[in-house]
Amino acid sequence: MRPGGLPINPEQTLRTKGELRPASLESRISGQRFFGGLVLAAVILFLSLSCAWEPVSLPATDPVPAVPGAADALLFEYRLLARDLLARRCNFYPSCSIYGQLAISEYGPVVGVIMALERWTRCHASAREQDYYEPAGSRLSDPVHIMEGLEPWDCLLLPF
Partner 1 sequence: MGLPAAALLTLTLSFADALYDGGDYGLAALEYSRVLYESGDTLGQPEEALRLARCLHALGRYQESLTLYSLLESRLQDPDSRALAAMGAGAVYADLGFHGRSIELYEEAARTATGEDLVFRAELLGALTPVYDREWSLAVEGLGELEEEWPGSRGQLAGELRGIAARGDRLPGRSPFWCGLASAILPGSGQMICGHVKDGLMAFGMTAAAGALLYAAVDEDNLSTSMLMGWLTFSFYGANVYGGARAAEYYNVARRREVYTQIRDRLERWPGD
Interface positions with partner 1 (CB under 8 A): 16, 33, 36-37, 40-41, 43-44, 47, 113-115, 117-118, 120-122, 124, 126, 130-132, 146-160
Closest approach, Cβ 102 to partner 1, in A, equals 15
Instruction: Name the residue nearer to partner 1 (CB basis): 80 or 114.
Output: 114
Q: How far is CA 22 from CA 2, 35, 101, in A?
A: 17, 20, 51
Angle at the Cα of 115 (from 144 to 108), degrees rounded to 5? 90
Instruction: Name the residue nearer to partner 1 (CB basis): 9 or 13.
Output: 13
Closest approach, Cβ 129 to partner 1, in A, equals 8
How many CA within 13 A on the CB side of residue 9?
A: 12
Distance separating alpha carbons of residues 52 and 113, to the nearest angstrom: 19
Residue 124: alpha-carbon gap to chain centroid: 10
The burial of 121, by beta-carbon neighbours within 10 Å (0-12 exposed, 13-18 middle, 19 or more buried), is given as exposed
Instruction: Name the residue nearer to partner 1 (CB basis): 6 or 108.
Output: 108
| The one-letter amino acid at 131 | D
Closest approach, Cβ 23 to partner 1, in A, equals 17
Instruction: Name the residue nearer to partner 1 (CB basis): 48 or 60.
Output: 48
Closest approach, Cβ 69 to partner 1, in A, equals 18
